[in-house]
Amino acid sequence: MSRLPLHTLPTFRVIAQLQNLRAAAEQLHLTHSAVSHQLKALETQLGHTLFERRGRRLVLNAAGQALLEGVEQALQQLDRGVAAAANAAGLTPESLRLSVLPSFAQRWLLPRMARWRGLHPELALEIQASAQLADLQREGLHAAIRQGAGHWPGLQAEVLIGTAVPLVVVGSPAAARRLGISPAGRGRKLPEAGVDACCFGDEPLLGSAELWEQWFALAGAPRKVTPVALFNDAGLMLQAAEQDLGLALAREILAADALREGRLVQLTPLAISHAAAQAYHLVYPPSLADWPPLLALRDWLQSELASTASQPRRAARSRR
């Protein structure tokens, strides 16, 4: 152990995570040969190999897996110690770099950033909004909020929003008035589904024709739908609905703030589930599972989402 090249252990961890020497070299800002030399030095000193070659991939063998499990906690403690030293020296506040879908960032996360800042003024969130699947290790990100089945190789995923969140019909206050619905909902119940199906035929519709046809079928008035606009981002679709460009079928949780503030109106109690809907997950490397900033973010997200989920129901009860 006294001759073990300790400086090679962080390199070993990155190789294990990325399963590729060239990718590890890019992340560590080293040359390919330097990373290869460090791995060879570690294996030589230990007296055995740590990886199996599978094409271009380097996959941990049993010895490598045992070593990674043994040194991971110590490496995490070193990471935290370095960050704590930087904070104590007043160099920079600790930050958590997060990849988020644009619709989730716009419609849900950004309106709540002030509350996060109030609870954690020492911890800055660096948000990268992108519809592309981010490579956390390669792009220097700590975590991501993603939609999917929950299986991303090498990453741990926790469900934030399940697939049971309903799709509700929303429109602008002007659209509500055209349909004979008071935007404030005072003294009036939401109309029955059959009435909605007839009335909605004269309104422009936004988004997926398939989902709208599913809604009309559930309402008892099947019809073919030709939307006036399609979107690859739910946030843009909701913004279009707010501007009275058409009615939208949207996830209730993404529309919750606009419904509460009166920028949108839920036009019917009839909601549908989306068979192809994907859950939202908080995704992160297993090595950060016990990192305090990530734990703080996870707890805050869960608390805020629980609060948001109850808002549409409270609003619906207030309209009765």
155-214 pLDDT per residue, tens: 888 888 876 668 899 999 999 888 887 655 433 444 444 345 666 768 899 999 999 998
Q: How far apart are the first and last CA of the chain?
A: 72
pLDDT score of 317: 37
Ranked by mean pLDDT, which of 120-124, 150-154, 196-200, 208-212 comes out on top? 208-212
- The span from the CA of 268 to the CA of 310, in Å, is 18
State the burial class of residue 286 (Cβ atoms within 10 Å of its Cβ: 0-12, 13-18, 19+): exposed
pLDDT score of 253: 83
Exposed e or buried b per residue across 204-217, where buried means at least 16 C-beta atoms within 10 angstroms of its C-beta = bbbbbeebbebbbe
For the chain, give the percent of residues with pLDDT over 70: 82
pLDDT score of 245: 95
Give the chain's mean pLDDT.
81
pLDDT in tens, 285-315: 888 888 888 999 999 998 888 877 655 443 3
pLDDT score of 82: 65
Mean pLDDT lowest for which of 7-16, 107-116, 245-254, 269-278?
Answer: 269-278
Distances in Å between the Cα of 193 and the Cα atoms of 200, 258, 269, 279 are 10, 22, 7, 27
Count H helices, E strands: the chain?
13, 11
Higher pLDDT, 92 or 212: 212
Least Cα distance to 143 among 296, 273, 3 occurs for: 296
pLDDT score of 197: 62
Are the C-beta atoms of residues 241 and 140 closer than 8 Å to each other? no
Is it the case that residue 228 has pLDDT exceeding 60? yes
Is it the case that residue 87 has pLDDT exceeding 70? no
Is it the case that residue 32 has pLDDT exceeding 90? no
Mean pLDDT computed over 69-98: 71
- The span from the CA of 306 to the CA of 300, in Å, is 10
How does strand 57-60 pair with strand 51-54? antiparallel
Are the C-beta atoms of residues 155 and 19 closer than 8 Å to each other? no
